[in-house]
Amino acid sequence: MAVRSRWVLVVLLAAGAERARAQEYPLAPLIARLPGSTRALAMANADMGGRESDVIFYNPAQLAVAHGSDASAELYTHGDLLATLSTETGLAGGALGVGVQSLTFSSASDTYASPTELGTRGPLASSGLILAAGYAHSLFGFRAGANVKVLQQQIGSASDTRAALDAGLSYDLWRGTAGLSVQNVGPDLRTFNGHVSQPTQANLGFSSGRYEAGPLDLSAAATGSVLRGRTFVAGGGGEVSYSWLDGYAVSARAGVRRAAEGEGPWTAGVGISADRFELDYAFESRAGRPGAHRIGIHIR
Amino acid sequence: MGAVVALLVAGLGGCTQSLKLSADDSGTVLARQLITAPNPGEPGPYRVRYLTYGSGTDERRAAYRDSVAIRTRAVDASPFVKMSPQQAKDRKALWGFDIKHAPLNARVWYPEGPGPFPLVVIAHGNHDPTDYSDPGYAYLGQLLASRGFILASIDENYVNGSLRGENAGRAWIMLEHLEAWRAFTDSAGNPFYHKVDWNEIGIMGHSRGGGAVSHAVQFNGLARFPDDANVKFNFHFHINAVVAIAPVDGQYKPAGKLEPIENVNFLVIHGSHDGDVSEFMGIRPYDRLRFTDGGFHFKSAWYVYRANHGQWNTVWNNHDNGPRSANRLDLRALLTPEQQRQFGKVVIGGFLEATLHHRTEYLPMFRDQRTIGHWLPRTMYITRFQESSFRLLANYDEDVDVTTGSVPGVTISGDSLAKWYEAPIPLRFPNDEQNTNAAWLGWNDRIAGPDTAARGRPASYTFTLSDSLVSSLHVGDSTSVMMSIAPTREMPGPRRAPGDSAGRDRARHDARAPIVHDDSVPMDLTVELVDADGHRARLPLSLFGPVRRPLETHVLRRADREKTEFRNPYEIVPQTYPMPLAAFVKVAPQFEPARLRTIRLLFDRTPSGTIVLDDVGLANMDPAFLPPGP
């Protein structure tokens, strides 16, 4: 198996990449369906085995081995903005992580906001917020973790806040990490004229370790997710890095995905790391409109 | 825009440092060649032959499969090599055998002729297991075989990689190879039948293999494995020469101890720019080695400026930190591989000639590097030396009384010293030490105040020897005073003006922090000997060897990492100065060596400085060590 099979998986995902079936199932808040990591976004938003603090938005189990702090911002057209902060610290043999995501956008619907509305100009000033706190610990070679989250969404004058839970499990194999997580398990959000389910989803993915290929380092990641309403999305991407000095490297990344609602099929990005600092840029294509740009910093 | 580009370039370049090297004095120090024997680093008269021996079933290497000239048995190394079940499984998958069936594979370079020849076994150290390390000593094999030695470079690649508890195994496998050789030489029809001189056995090792040679010397004399007494030993080889190349020390401690080593000839070499074992660990087994059996032995340590870890193995080369060493290590500072290996050939060749062929004409090179100035590649060397006639006066390890030596009859006093204390000698890595104490002596002759020319009397540090001690040590014309000294980079502040209540024993000095020395001021001091009648003889220390401040060492490309990973940008390595009393008699004919009473260091040649002093003693060394001298 090892390396070859993982690359085969990425290629298969690429071959099958297409826009997922248009969603017919209303979900809220919108912010809970958006990317949490710049590096991951550049690789089709696949980060189930990530090792940076923003993995809290993908698989809380990986907090056990995550490091540093992350901040990023994604700009959609018409000024819609997603901002993300996360950090972690060791606690009681495991690791505690916290994360915050904030979204400001405008919505056309007063019921729920669809991802297709990002980057469009709607009549209703809207926002979303996630406050997440997670803890992870290693056990019998596995890592297990859970998040407690507060989800908030405001569309026009209607606002609601709900709690939600995430849980994750991960395991190192084939010099990489396999991860499984379930996100956004919690009560429906009230909207202007009813209730909308949280975007509960189950994710299964793999993140490879780094493989040396001459002067380059190669790595890859892939994720498949089933979203409430039986929408299946998947994506995978790769990263090529070059280091010329211990602690310094430049990276190029690309990903393809079977896209969820509002998303386009491909992503790309670059990064530069200088000792404890890493600056990343990612671009994601959007369905039917200009793509979104994301910039993030990671501090080890 | 230009500023942005400049900032970007600076940022991407990181905090790399410019190449910093100490000023090279080798043109002066190595200007002369005093030994007239043939260069031991050059090929000898024997025609060289080559073969491999081993399991004959190796799945990965043809040299140990189809082309073995002698088949050897497998050995169970499991008591000596600790690994997890997963590691054991992975290794069996990689090699096709497990550690209970470890093969005895080796490449052998040997001289054509009836023999018997000394046998030398060399063990490589840790490296990528699949980048086989054992061929990397072919250059030594070719040389030594041409000079009448058999060299077996043994295969321990199967314990390389990520293991941490295998160093006892490296030593034991080395001894098992010698057992295999015993069978070779006893078997009629074997190419080595009666070709080994079993009184002249040498073992060599590099890196972890260099650490293993100390364990092998121990195991060779033991009846049982210290960590599992159910495992019996019965080796008892006549190991006469031990060579440690950039060794580790203390990764394995038999019975939890850094083992004492006794009664072997020992050579250790280490590079200042070692990017793997980046401190002179081999100075510790050098220091632990004792000569207790009354036989003739010596030990020698060479610290080679600008040498690295790997260039003594042609497979490893300048990849001390793996295939991408150039990202981390400053390779610009290094000697060329050819220079570094030429040094190895000269010093290892000379050592084996002296110890296994008993070619005494090579002994002086270990007493004084300046005797082989034309053989040594041009760089700077710090050498330590001691032979079995050495009798200790002070090594500062016995107690905390700074006024007493290490044996009865030695008293110590200081005068006008700014610093006088005993403390451990550090190694470069924080919290690591050479495991030996030394005297730290600092001085500054200048008197504080507006008169910058005002000087006090020179500081001094004095050993006074009792009559009975001198008598018992048989001090005479052929005796040498021995001491090891390392100047440091610190310069104590000037003395306070006289008239205060400071005592004579310790001048009061300005309390400001020491100033780092200006390297342009040469470092030297006077050694003064006084006999019982008060006759004095004085000579400069520099007459007996190079006196240098620490050699500037920057191993890493990044200055910030260099600062965090290392305590100092240099290693404190005391240089040994053997000082024949006959040389003092030449300048002061009235001085009577047999009536020696005082050995004094007089700090009158450099206005200020600090030295580290260790291993002060007297030696009536074999005359072969002495001539020729500068």
In percent, the amount of chain A with pLDDT more than 70 equals: 92
> Which region among B44-53, B449-458, B526-535 has the lowest average model confidence (pLDDT)?
B449-458
Cβ-based contacts of B561 with chain A (< 8 Å): 246-247
Confidence of residue B55 (pLDDT cuts 50, 70, 90): very high
Is there a contact between A215 and B557 if contact means CB atoms under 8 Å apart?
A: no
Q: Count of domains in chain A? A: 1
A275, closest residue in chain B (CA to CA)? B14
* Inter-chain touch A246–B16, beta carbons under 8 Å: no
pTM of the model: 0.89
Please determine, for residue B501, whether its predicted confidence score (pLDDT) is greater than 60.
no
- Compute the distance between CA of residue A255 and CA of residue A267 in angstroms, rounded to an integer: 5
- Cβ of B558 within 8 Å of Cβ of A272? The answer is no
Q: Does residue A14 surpass a pLDDT of 90?
A: no
* Cβ <8 Å between A247 and B561: yes
Distance CA(B585)–CA(B268), nearest Å, equals 33
What are the sequence ranges of the domains in chain B?
A: 35-387, 391-625
Between residues A72 and A14, which one has the greater pLDDT?
A: A72
CA distance B189 to B181: 14
- pLDDT for A13: 46
CB contact (8 A) between residue A215 and residue B324: yes
Please name the residue that has the structure tokens 């089933």.
A226
More confident residue, A114 or B499: A114
What is the gyration radius of the CA atoms in chain B, in angstroms?
26
Contacts of B16 in chain A (CB under 8 A): 245
- In this predicted structure, what is the pLDDT of residue B502? 46
pLDDT band at A18 (very low <50, low <70, confident <90, very high): very low
Model confidence pLDDT, tens digit, residues B472-500: 999 999 999 999 999 998 889 888 876 65
Task: Supply the CATH number for residue A193's domain.
Answer: 2.40.160.60
B181 pLDDT exceeds 60? yes
DSSP B177-219: HHHHHHHHHHSTTSTTTT-EEEEEEEEEEETHHHHHHHHHHHH
What pLDDT is recorded for position A1?
39
* Spatial CA neighbour of B408 closest among B480, B461, B463, B465: B465
Q: How far apart are the first and last CA of chain B?
A: 62
Q: Would you state the pLDDT for residue A174?
A: 86
Distance CA B151, CA B496 (A): 62
Q: Is A7 helix (H, G, I), strand (E, B) or coil?
A: helix
> What are the tens digits of pLDDT across the range B104-149?
999 999 999 998 999 999 999 999 999 999 999 999 999 999 999 9
SS3 of B255-305: the string is HHCCCCCECCEEEEEEECCCCCCCCCCCHHHHHHCECCCCCCCEEEEEEEC
| Residue B378: count of CB within 10 angstroms of its CB | 12
At residue A279 the predicted structure's pLDDT band, cuts being 50, 70 and 90, is very high
Q: How far apart are the CA of A284 and the nearest CA of chain B, in angstroms?
A: 26
In the structure, what pLDDT confidence band is assigned to residue A260 with cuts at 50, 70 and 90? confident
Give bridge partners of residue B149 from the DSSP assignment: none
Q: What 3-state DSSP class applies to A145?
A: strand
Calculate the dihedral angle through the C-alpha atoms of B41, B43, B49, B51, rounding to the nearest 10 degrees: 20
Mutate to test the interface with A, among B9, B90, B324 (most CBs of A within 10 A): B324
Per CB-CB distance under 8 Å, the chain A contacts of B11 are 274
What is the per-residue pLDDT for A261? 85
Close Cβ partners of B417 (under 8 Å, ≥ 6 residues apart) = B441, B442, B443, B459, B460, B461, B506, B507
* Positive/negative CA dihedral, B297, B303, B304, B310: positive
Summarize pLDDT for B579-630 with one digit per residue, the tens: 999 999 999 999 999 999 999 999 999 999 999 999 999 999 999 998 654 4
**Residue B189: count of CB within 10 angstroms of its CB:** 5
Determine, for residues A248 and B556 on separate chains, whether the beta-carbon distance falls below 8 Å. Answer: no
* Cα–Cα distance measured from residue A168 to residue A97, given in angstroms and rounded to the nearest whole number: 13
Whether residues A275 and B327 touch (CB distance < 8 A) is answered with: no
Query: CB B557 to CB A245 under 8 A?
Result: yes
Note whether A110 and A122 are within 8 A (CB).
Answer: no
Average pLDDT over residues B492-518: 61
The residue in chain B having the minimum alpha-carbon distance to the alpha carbon of residue A242 is B327
pLDDT over 60 at A61, yes or no: yes
CB within 8 A of B62, min separation 6: which ones? Answer: none
Query: What's the pLDDT score for residue B378?
Result: 97
Q: How confident is the model at residue A122 (pLDDT cuts 50, 70, 90)?
A: confident
* Predicted pLDDT of residue A11: 46
The interface predicted TM-score (ipTM) is: 0.78
Task: Give the 3-state DSSP-derived string for A62-73, with helices as H, strands as E and coil as C.
Answer: HHHHCECEEEEE
pLDDT in tens, B394-436: 999 999 999 999 999 999 999 999 999 999 999 999 989 999 9
Question: Over chain B, what is the mean pLDDT?
Answer: 93
Q: pLDDT (tens digit, 9 = 90+) per residue, B319-343?
A: 999 999 999 999 999 999 999 999 9
pLDDT of residue B553: 96
Does residue A213 sit at the B interface (CB-CB below 8 Å)?
no
pLDDT band at B391 (very low <50, low <70, confident <90, very high): very high
Cis peptide bond upstream of B116, omega within 30: yes
Question: What is the C-alpha separation between A74 and B377, in angstroms, rounded?
Answer: 60
Measured distance CA(A131)–CA(A32) in Å, rounded: 11
Q: What span, in angstroms and rounded, lies between the C-alpha atoms of B382 and B547?
A: 9
- Asked if A216 reaches chain B (Cβ–Cβ under 8 Å), the answer is no
Minimum CA–CA partner of A244 in chain B: B327
| A189-246 residue pLDDT tens | 987 778 889 999 999 999 999 999 999 999 999 999 999 887 899 999 999 999 999 9
> Within 13 A of B472's CA, how many CA atoms are on the CB side?
12
Residue in A closest to B10 by C-alpha: A274
pLDDT value at residue B515 = 57
Query: What are the chain A neighbours of B275 within 8 Å (beta carbons)?
Result: none
Contacts of B416 (CB under 8 A, 6+ apart): B443, B445, B456, B457, B458, B459, B460, B495, B504, B506, B507
User: Which of A212, A243, A246 is facing B558, going by the closest CB pair?
Assistant: A246
> Nearest 10 degrees: CA dihedral of B412, B415, B419, B423?
0
Does residue A12 carry a pLDDT above 60? no
Q: Which residues of A touch B557 (CB under 8 A)?
A: 245-246
C-alpha distances in Å from residue B36, one per residue of A93, B32, B414, B628: 67, 11, 43, 9
Q: E-strand spans in A174-215?
A: 176-185, 189-191, 194-196, 201-208, 211-213
Query: Between chains, do A245 and B558 touch, taking CB under 8 Å as contact?
Result: yes
CA distances from B360 to B124, B293, B393 (A): 29, 20, 27
Sign of the Cα pseudo-torsion (B429, B431, B433, B435, in order):
negative
Nearest CA-CA distance, residue B79 and chain A, Å: 27
Q: How far is CA B482 from CA A20, B78, B370, B391, B423, in A?
A: 84, 45, 17, 9, 20
Q: Which residues contact B430 (CB under 8 A, 6 or more apart)?
A: B566, B567
Distance from CA of B328 to the nearest CA of A (A): 5
Q: Which residue has the tokens 């005479």?
A: B476
Structure confidence at residue B517 as a pLDDT band (50, 70, 90)? low
Distance between CA B618 and CA B598 in Å, rounded?
A: 12
Q: Which chain B residues are Cβ-neighbours of A243 within 8 angstroms?
A: 324, 327
To the nearest whole Å, the CA of B321 is away from the closest chain A CA by: 11
The lowest-confidence range among A15-24, A64-73, B47-56, B265-274 is A15-24
Confidence of residue B519 (pLDDT cuts 50, 70, 90): low
- Pick A248's closest partner by Cβ from B12, B324, B560: B12
Which superfamily is assigned to B35-387 in CATH?
A: Alpha/Beta hydrolase fold, catalytic domain (3.40.50.1820)
Query: Is A1 in the B-facing interface, judged by CB distances under 8 Å?
Result: no
Facing A244 at nearest CB: one of B323, B327, B560: B327
Residue A113: pLDDT band with limits 50, 70, 90:
confident
| Set of chain A residues whose Cβ sits within 8 Å of the Cβ of B560 | 275
Mean pLDDT of chain A: 90
Which residue do the tokens 């603090």 mark? A53
| Largest interatomic CA distance in chain A | 60
Name every chain A residue with its beta carbon within 8 A of the beta carbon of B12. Answer: 244, 248, 272, 274
Domain that holds residue A21: 2-299
